Amino acid sequence: MRRSGFLIPCFAILLAACNESVITDVPVDASEAGKVTFTLSADLRNDVVDVKSSAEEISVDDFWVEIFNSKKIRIFCEKYADAKDTTLYVNSGDYTLLATYGTENSVGFDKPFYKAEEPFTVGPQETKPLAATATLANVKVAVNFDEDLDNKLSYEQYWAVVRNNGKKLRFNPAETRAGYIPAGNLEFVLVVKINGEYKQYVHPAAEYAPNDFVTFNVSAPLMDGNVVIKVLIDNTVEIVEVDEIVVPIEDMLPLEEPAIYSEGFDNDNSITFVDTKAPVKNELWISATAEGVLSSAVLSIDCPDLGLPAEIDLATADDAVASAYEAKGIWWKFNADRTSLSISLLDAYDDHISKLGYRGYDHDAGRPLPAAEIGLKIETAGGAARTAEESYAIYVEPNAARGSFSWNDYDVWATKIVNPVLTLGEGKYDKTKIQYSMDGQTWVDFQDVTSSEYSMGTVEGLDAGTTYYLRAIYDGWLEVAAPVSFTTEAAQQVGNAGFEEWTTDSWTYEQSSLGRGESPMKWYHPWGNEADQWWDTNATVSMRDDLTIGYTYFKSFPLVHYSNDARTGSRSAQLTVANIGNYNSLVSTNGTWYVGELFSGRGNDASSWAKVAEGKPLSSRPAALTFWYEYDAYTDTDMFSAEIIIKTQDGTVLASGYGTFGEGSDWTQATVALLYNVTDKKADTVLVRINASTASDHSCNKTGTYLEIAGSKKESDPYRIKLGATLRIDDIELVY
């Protein structure tokens, strides 16, 4: 049995807003965060909106305030009444403030839509006061009918329609309210009934901007059947009359085509919900209006679950057919003169449609396959027949479990990420796949998900210093875990890796016999300038200041310097093992053995033989150290050593590696692998240390050896020293 007390429903305001203040869990870095405060005003065309039974006041406190980041992710949403006293902390960057009242693209006498949109930038530790003024974002429309149109001898009935791309406002003679319609090309349609026949005049479409107040004034002052239309535009600066047109009745066209409206569907005539989780609907109907009699109204239904015929003409359906539709929750009613129709789908939605299940995905259309499709095609009788047609669809998404990714910052290395986890909530996950992207736009399938808390394992083969994106997709289309990004550690390298840059220094020593007085000696720093210093040496530990006569380099000598024998470029670092002492002579070796050392950090200088600091900043975690060497061993058992140590900020050793190497007359590559004993902390410093010998006992040519120092070799003093092993190092690299 049909519902009693059935009325054709009118439009209701649907406020497009969010229901939580923080929309996404974008982390905020407190040290870099800025502050945002809000001041919102509204330039109201009027602060009171008339509805059929009352008036409603517009208050700026009722506006919604939203903030979007540069990736168009909404990070804040509150009513202004709450937001105006809010101080919001955000990461530094670019944002957009959006303030709205009402629903965009809505049409009606009580549906103004106000909007303010302001981009802004927040810097670190900056307090940003935001001020915005919202203005009307649709067009306010009024129609005034002059009293001379009430001459019933000439005009039996009349009304007007303002329309824009299918959206319509109808103004009856008694209508005193203004309506609201989206900006754009608006048409004004005047309908009159003369001598029992409906005719219409369609005023050419004109472009109207947001915040315009357009008034159409209609009169018939000549009383001769002609109509005068004046169009006024108030753009809040001035009122401009753009038209005054006299329309002879004989120029009017047959009546406008009928129209179809709906309530309860989205703007695209659809309803989309998750399988078994349909939204509650208080109204769901389709209606049709016409100025003439509706001669046919064909309702089509493509929904096997309902078990109804594919289509039915409601204008000719008998009671038996109507009862079959009513049994499925679909019923309809025409008005007395058959110029309007309303079809209720609410019971069908509650009892059947809301229980429809997911049927798959239409990749060509870019959305789920419709679980139900409904169409209505109407036609008016008499004269030139007019038709209108609309279609509606119900889309059901799968009940897929939604979730998010998580990992620790120390899980992201230069070439890998360790065990990121996808955690999913309730629902199906067996068709979920993880995808990755290099730009956040183009996605590639990566892994299938096999549990609601899915550990991806260690993902290797990544590029250092590169941003990657992850998301989770159900059934190849439904995004169930929003995109998140991580950036791999940079493949940081040592400074002056090829030892091309050196600085020459001078050391003055005192020679205490034979009146030779003070003498200068050159020594060398492995950097181009002190500001770029990365490496240092123990060169000065063997540079003495109490020299005696003769054989200068037997008595004082810089252990580390550069050589022109290089693998690439023109220089390498040369480390020596030398015996230094005042009592050395051509025939005797009585000094102390010193081993040259090259290391990352700050070494000693001529005033202090103690190291200043070991280690240099490094925020990456390499897998190994490689370098090239030549080693002139003095004995068959001579070996040199290379060591690398990675530490955290608190001094914890993350990783270390150590190796010893022997004779190498030609350039040979060596590798020292790093073993990480601590993996849950980030790197802060690296120490690389190379020693020219690991031996505890040394020997040398008793008369001294001629040696190239800093590109020069002389067959006389001071380049003849008591020399053990000699090591040349070039092209150091951290491997990731």
The confidence band for 11, taking pLDDT boundaries of 50, 70 and 90, is: very low
Same domain, 303 and 273: yes
The confidence band for 17, taking pLDDT boundaries of 50, 70 and 90, is: very low
The pLDDT, as a whole number, for residue 714 is 56
Strand (E) or helix (H) holding 526:
none
CA distance 479 to 435: 10
Sheet of strand 74-79: strand arrangement? 74-79, 64-69, 93-101, 114-122, 127-136, 34-43, 88-90
Q: Which of 136, 164, 185 is the last residue of a domain?
A: 136
CA atoms within 13 A on the CB side of 292: 23
The confidence band for 5, taking pLDDT boundaries of 50, 70 and 90, is: very low
Question: Over 90: is that where the pLDDT of 687 sits?
Answer: yes
| Contacts with 233 (C-beta within 8 Å, 6 or more apart), sequence order | 208, 212, 213, 214, 215, 239, 240, 241, 242
The pLDDT, as a whole number, for residue 225 is 62
- 442-477 core/surface letters (b: 16 or more CB in 10 A; e: else): ebeeebebeebebebeebeebebeeebbbbbbbbee
Peptide bond into 718 cis (omega under 30): yes
Question: Over 60: is that where the pLDDT of 671 sits?
Answer: yes
First vs last Cα of the chain: how many Å apart? 76
Could you tell me if 682 and 619 are in contact, meaning their C-beta atoms sit under 8 angstroms apart?
Answer: yes
What is the rounded average pLDDT of the residues 95-106?
92
The pLDDT, as a whole number, for residue 249 is 66
| Contacts with 706 (C-beta within 8 Å, 6 or more apart), sequence order | 713, 714, 715, 719, 720
What is the rounded average pLDDT of the residues 490-503?
97
Return the CATH number at 472. Answer: 2.60.40.10
The pLDDT, as a whole number, for residue 517 is 59
Same domain, 46 and 188: no
The confidence band for 4, taking pLDDT boundaries of 50, 70 and 90, is: very low
The answer as to whether 26 is a domain residue is no
The pLDDT, as a whole number, for residue 19 is 41
Same domain, 131 and 143: no
Residue percentage of the chain with pLDDT more than 90: 59
- Nearest one of 517, 581, 574, 526 to 553, comparing CA atoms: 581
Same domain, 190 and 284: no
Same domain, 521 and 407: no
The pLDDT, as a whole number, for residue 22 is 41
Alpha-helical (H) ranges within 257-342 are: 319-327
Window from 520-524, 573-577, 593-597, 678-682 with minimum mean pLDDT: 520-524
Window from 93-97, 230-234, 697-701 with minimum mean pLDDT: 697-701
Same domain, 307 and 334: yes
Same domain, 546 and 673: yes
Question: Over 50: is that where the pLDDT of 637 sits?
Answer: yes
The answer as to whether 277 is a domain residue is yes
Same domain, 554 and 643: yes
Strand (E) or helix (H) holding 554:
helix 552-555
- Nearest one of 602, 585, 584 to 593, comparing CA atoms: 584
373-427 pLDDT tens trace: 999 999 886 444 578 999 999 999 999 999 999 999 999 999 999 999 999 999 9
Q: Which range of residues forms the domain containing residue 533?
A: 503-735
Question: Over 80: is that where the pLDDT of 626 sits?
Answer: yes
- pTM for this entry: 0.59
DSSP, collapsed to helix, strand or coil, labels residue 61 as helix
Question: Over 50: is that where the pLDDT of 664 sits?
Answer: yes
The pLDDT, as a whole number, for residue 250 is 67
The confidence band for 57, taking pLDDT boundaries of 50, 70 and 90, is: confident
The answer as to whether 608 is a domain residue is yes
Q: What is the DSSP string of 183-249?
A: SEEEEEEEEEEETTEEEEEEEEEEEE-TT-EEEEEEE-TT-SS-EEEEEEEE-SS-EEEEEEEEE-G
Q: How far is CA 201 from CA 187, 193, 253, 615, in A?
A: 10, 12, 6, 87
170-193 pLDDT tens trace: 898 888 899 999 999 998 988 887
DSSP, collapsed to helix, strand or coil, labels residue 66 as strand
- Nearest one of 580, 417, 573 to 487, comparing CA atoms: 417
Structural domain count of the chain: 5
Q: How far is CA 378 from CA 10, 191, 362, in A?
A: 20, 20, 29
204-261 pLDDT tens trace: 889 999 999 999 998 877 556 677 888 888 887 778 777 777 777 666 766 667 899 9
The pLDDT, as a whole number, for residue 3 is 35
What is the rounded average pLDDT of the residues 562-575?
96
Q: Which of 487, 520, 546 is the last residue of a domain?
A: 487
505-524 pLDDT tens trace: 887 766 655 555 567 778 89
Rounded to 5 degrees, what are φ and ψ at 234? -110, 110
Same domain, 515 and 448: no
The answer as to whether 725 is a domain residue is yes
DSSP, collapsed to helix, strand or coil, labels residue 326 as helix
What is the rounded average pLDDT of the residues 90-111?
92
- Nearest one of 553, 617, 619 to 585, comparing CA atoms: 553
Return the CATH number at 630. Answer: 2.60.120.260
CA distance 418 to 455: 10
Token readout for 39 is 């001041």
The pLDDT, as a whole number, for residue 16 is 38
Same domain, 522 and 627: yes
CA distance 281 to 480: 25
- 18-55 core/surface letters (b: 16 or more CB in 10 A; e: else): eeebebeeeeeeeeebbebebebebebbeeebeeeeee
The pLDDT, as a whole number, for residue 312 is 95
Could you tell me if 599 and 537 are in contact, meaning their C-beta atoms sit under 8 angstroms apart?
Answer: yes
Q: Which of 487, 511, 539 is the last residue of a domain?
A: 487
The pLDDT, as a whole number, for residue 10 is 29
Q: What is the DSSP letter of 711?
A: T
Same domain, 171 and 301: no
- Nearest one of 573, 574, 596, 521 to 552, comparing CA atoms: 521
Residues in the chain: 736
The pLDDT, as a whole number, for residue 230 is 87
Return the CATH number at 375. Answer: 2.60.40
Residue percentage of the chain with pLDDT more than 70: 88
Token readout for 698 is 């040394």
The pLDDT, as a whole number, for residue 438 is 96
Q: What is the DSSP letter of 575?
A: E
Same domain, 376 and 277: yes
The pLDDT, as a whole number, for residue 152 is 52
The answer as to whether 349 is a domain residue is yes
Q: What is the DSSP string of 402-467?
A: PEEEE--GGGB-SSEEE--EEEE-SSB-TTEEEEEESSSSS-EEEEE--SSEEE--EEE-PPTT-E
DSSP, collapsed to helix, strand or coil, labels residue 539 as helix
The answer as to whether 12 is a domain residue is no
What is the rounded average pLDDT of the residues 52-77?
88
- Nearest one of 492, 541, 550 to 519, comparing CA atoms: 550
The answer as to whether 280 is a domain residue is yes
The answer as to whether 146 is a domain residue is yes
The confidence band for 659, taking pLDDT boundaries of 50, 70 and 90, is: very high
Residue 651 backbone zone (phi > 0: left; psi -120 to 50: alpha; other: beta): left
272-315 pLDDT tens trace: 999 888 999 999 999 999 876 788 999 999 998 888 999 999 99
- 297-307 core/surface letters (b: 16 or more CB in 10 A; e: else): bbbbbbbeebe
The confidence band for 12, taking pLDDT boundaries of 50, 70 and 90, is: very low
Q: What is the DSSP letter of 7?
A: -
What is the rounded average pLDDT of the residues 189-202?
78
What is the rounded average pLDDT of the residues 458-481?
96
